[in-house]
Amino acid sequence: MPTILADSFTASLPKLANDEQKQAQLAAFTLMTEPDRPGLQFHRIDKSKDPNFWSVRVSRDIRIIVHKTGGSLMLAYVDHHDAAYAWAERRRIEAHPTTGAIQIVEVRERVEEIARPAAPLQIELAFDAPAPATLPPIFASLDAAQLLSVGVPEDWLADVGKATEETFFALAAHLPQEAAEALLEYAATGILPVPAPATADPLVHPDTMRRFRILDGIEELQAALDAPFEKWAVFLHPLQRQVVDRDYSGPVRVAGSAGTGKTVVALHRVMRILHSDPDARVLLTTFSDPLADALQRKLAILAGGRRELMDRVTVASFRRIGEELYALTTGRKAHLADRDGIRKLVEQAASESRVTGFSPRFLLSEWENIIDAWHIGSADAYADVPRMGRKNRLGAKQRETLWQVFARIREALRQRALFTPAALFQHLTATYAARDEKPFSHIVVDEAQDLGVSELRFLAAIAPDMPDALFFAGDIGQRIFQQPFSWLGLGIDVRGRSVTLKVNYRTSQQIRQMADSLLPRTVRDVDGLEEDRRGTVSVFEGIEPEVMIAEDEAAERDAAAAFIRRALDVHIAPREIAIFVRSAEQLPRARSIAEAAGLPFRTATTSRQDEEKALVGIMHLAKGLEFRAVAVVACDENVLPLAARVADVADAFELDEVIATERQLLYVAATRARDRLLVSGISPGSEFIEPL
């Protein structure tokens, strides 16, 4: 008998105490391996309108709700006895009459019966009371057939037809997810999305597969239940699955705002490659070591502990894989110069060349963004480089003069046997471009918006000449490290193979709307490809973010500590809380807030025990993380944007880029929050938060 896992089970499991979770997992394993075991106590849920709901005893008070038919056993829900029975009594599982997808449908009469005594103003308004004259129904122009086409259950059609902007979110929580998302998109854009096509087998319908998974073995169940919060490891949105499973004719780029599942898609793409090609050797890479470590852990969950899969994947940051390949090809370790060392070499070279009229900031910027990034190796090459976007125009004589400085820097690095990171990538690009044999068959890149010129060239060089060898996931709006450049100019053409995800699973509607106000509604890259953030919807409601400009540090500390205590009071665990600041100089303020709130915290994970504590860190470390409550503090004038970065710019173009990336840094930190967000600073505050 096949076992089916429902996402409602993975959502309910972590709400139990740790020992109760372990008991429930053990019972689930028994149900899967020995469904006819005599010791299992099945009891039919007599009050449910679905005759196939049964309860299974886990302990004295814990029950698993299963949906049992002749052909399958579904793990549907787990909770304490009364709550588990109440859940089953208010639901039925059925195939939708129009879409054919299998749905868990709330029984409307049961919802009204339960809700009316507890919260009549909220629930009865949503379902029964006439809409206020000033708020007309938002779906009045949609007929029953259109509503059915996107998965609205038949007995909820009348309620959807009466919904207003004020009442819809209360109603949406009771609808199947695909129906709620489609209606949200219609409310935001006025366009009803095209539903997924019907399938002969309801279990393989895209909307079924986002809720239910047929388990192939005990390892899959173990992986899903070991990390129930990581629901992406089991269930995919139909658009995500389409992107993962499609065959492509060239490089691919998946875009989307924070929380839309780009990393999810990248991880599933890796697994799809491994399953479909037994000879595949995959590189999964990103911009930092901590983020690479996080990807490694998530991929291991997705692989279900199967070593034969994980052994064919290398997970490493851009720089780490570059250093490893250099050691592999040369037998030597690559020694890298740091930015402070380069700054000193720039100043020394300018002094020795007696070049005047150019500031040290300009020389360092020209070196990093033009000479080093594009690997300019001669005065003639420098004379011809277009310097795209640079607003300080340079004539032939000026470039000839400046080359004296840059030539000395190159020679100084050579004498010291030092690479810059860009030079290391260039060396490897030259090495592997000349080789037919490549180290990997496929390369999947997460946070691809932070690729630089040299990194992108390097990845293209180590990828084989295959249509689907390169897969990029990233959001231009979260670019915080690199200046923009043309991918097409480097031979990476994603035109026609660029997909933007629109459904936000991580961040509440209120937090998403506030964070999105920090960025333009549409973002266009250098090659003209546009990411349109309009129409992005969050699948759940939350509370409004708090934005505050305090009189002094003490006032900010007290307000932020109160924000954290409120989160703790509603049982948000310390590990689900983070405090972010712009740079290390502001970390003492963050620590004082945590201490005032009585919040156990860590600044870096050093043990499993530390992972139970809140995270206090800088905004750059927020990438790839998520928390239920986030405080972004010390957003002061001259801190955000950081005065030191502004002072370091060479021209107006760089100033625009610095301001943009600093704004995007705040966006990244704010969108780590799922349910609760505080953004604060000291008067007069950052120019970014005052409009909020």
User: Has residue 428 been placed in a domain?
Assistant: no
Within-domain flag for 76: yes
Q: Are residues 184 and 257 in the same domain?
A: no
Task: Based on the fold, state whether residues 300 and 443 are members of the same structural domain.
Answer: yes
**What's the whole-model pTM score?**
0.73
Low-confidence residues in the chain, pLDDT < 70? 1, 38-39, 110-134, 216-234, 305, 386-393, 477-484, 523-535, 539, 604-609, 648-654
The helix (run of H) or strand (run of E) holding residue 65 is strand 62-68
Q: ∠ at Cα 584 (450, 363), nearest 5°? A: 55
Would you say residue 274 lies in a domain? yes
Domain count, the chain: 5
Residues 210-224 have pLDDT tens digits of 888 887 666 666 666
CB contact at 8 A, 255 and 474: yes
For residue 176, what are the domain limits? 102-189
What token pair was written down for 256?
Answer: 């989307």
Identify whether 382 is part of a domain.
yes
Residues 322 and 375 both lie in one domain: no
133 with 254, same domain: the answer is: no
Please check whether residues 670 and 562 belong to one and the same domain: yes
The total of other beta-carbon atoms located within 10 Å of residue 4's CB is 22
Q: Sheet containing 627-632: which strands, arranged edge to edge? A: 546-550, 673-682, 627-632, 577-581, 614-618, 601-602
**Same domain as 353, residue 300:** no
Structure tokens at 595: 């201490």
In this structure, the answer to whether residues 170 and 108 fall within a common structural domain is yes
- Predicted pLDDT at 523: 66
In a domain, 388, yes or no: yes
Angle between helices 421-433 and 453-462 (to 10 degrees): 30
The pLDDT assigned to 531 comes to 67
Residues 333-346 have pLDDT tens digits of: 999 998 889 999 99
Task: Give me the pLDDT at residue 462, please.
Answer: 96
Asked whether residue 423 is assigned to any structural domain, the reply reads no
Domain assignment present for 537: no
d(CA 120, CA 112): 9
Whether residues 44 and 125 fall in one domain: no
For residue 91, the model assigns a pLDDT of: 94
In a domain, 510, yes or no: no
